[in-house]
């Protein structure tokens, strides 16, 4: 699990292409203090497993499913990437729950400055927009951000200069694609409310009393 608070910007040192997969080698500084083989690192929001480790670089296998669903397949040698280690049990929770499993890609429609704020408007597929709510959380290239506004085709976020400087979002331009991960709680709630209850069994446990009507009546 990650929090969407980027620890550092790394760089793609090498890309080894396979038939339907690749191996990324990424360099950095901060995250290597206690990085070990088998650890999870979110790279532009994608959870990768450290398969080899050498000095200030690590390699990770990227499967076909990940390449098809995320922007990792578009990376070139030398590209800058957001990096975050998995959150330790005693770590500080600064953002929101980020799984590192990308839901899809968005396209930057507009970048606008407003005093000290930088606004990004991003077009997203309907299957992603359905889980986005105004003032809710979304991970963009692994960055935990708050949704400022929302339409039927796109949404907007506003970031401060510090966030821009400490992440690769400052390098993005209109037309670029970004990795998007919805807040997982919305997906859990939808499944809970829309899936039929399991078939009756010998269990004596009572079925849940939480229904859509119950939630509405109680102000949700």
Give me the architecture of the 104-188 domain, per CATH: Beta Barrel (2.40)
Tell me, what's the pLDDT at 97? 86
User: Is 104-188 in the same CATH topology as 8-85?
Assistant: yes
Residue carrying the six token digits 């209109």 = 174
Q: Give the pLDDT of the chain (220 residues) as one tens digit per residue.
A: 899 999 999 999 999 999 999 999 999 999 998 999 999 999 999 999 999 999 999 999 999 999 999 999 999 999 999 999 998 777 777 788 899 999 999 999 999 999 999 999 999 999 999 999 999 999 999 999 999 999 999 999 999 999 999 999 999 999 999 999 999 888 888 888 787 766 655 555 555 556 667 667 766 6
Burial 175-214, CB ≥16 within 10 A → b, else e: ebbbbbbbbbeeeeeeeeeeeeeeeeeeeeeeeeeeeeee
Parse the chain into domains and list their residue ranges.
Answer: 8-85, 104-188
Give me the architecture of the 8-85 domain, per CATH: Beta Barrel (2.40)
133-148 confidence digits (pLDDT tens):
999 999 999 999 999 9
């Amino acid at each position: 699990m990650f929090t969407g608070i980027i620890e550092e910007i790394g760089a793609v040192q090498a890309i080894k292409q396979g038939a339907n997969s690749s191996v990324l080698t990424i360099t950095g500084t901060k995250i290597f203090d206690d990085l070990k083989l088998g650890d999870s690192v979110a790279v532009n929001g994608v959870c990768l497993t450290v398969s080899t480790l050498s000095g200030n670089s690590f390699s990770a296998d990227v499967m076909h499913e990940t390449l098809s669903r995320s922007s990792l397949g578009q990376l070139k040698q030398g590209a800058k990437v957001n990096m975050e280690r998995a959150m330790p049990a005693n770590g500080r929770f600064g953002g929101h729950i980020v799984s590192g499993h990308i839901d899809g890609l968005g396209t930057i429609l507009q970048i606008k400055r407003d005093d000290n704020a930088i606004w990004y408007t991003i077009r997203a597929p309907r299957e992603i927009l359905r889980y986005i709510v105004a003032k809710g959380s979304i991970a963009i290239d692994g960055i935990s951000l708050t949704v400022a506004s929302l339409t039927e085709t796109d949404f907007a976020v506003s970031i401060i200069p510090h966030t821009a400087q400490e992440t690769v979002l400052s390098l993005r331009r209109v037309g670029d694609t970004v990795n998007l991960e919805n807040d997982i709680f919305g997906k859990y709630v939808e499944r809970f409310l829309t899936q039929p209850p399991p078939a009756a069994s010998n269990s004596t446990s009572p079925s849940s009393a939480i229904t859509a009507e119950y939630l509405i009546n109680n102000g949700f």
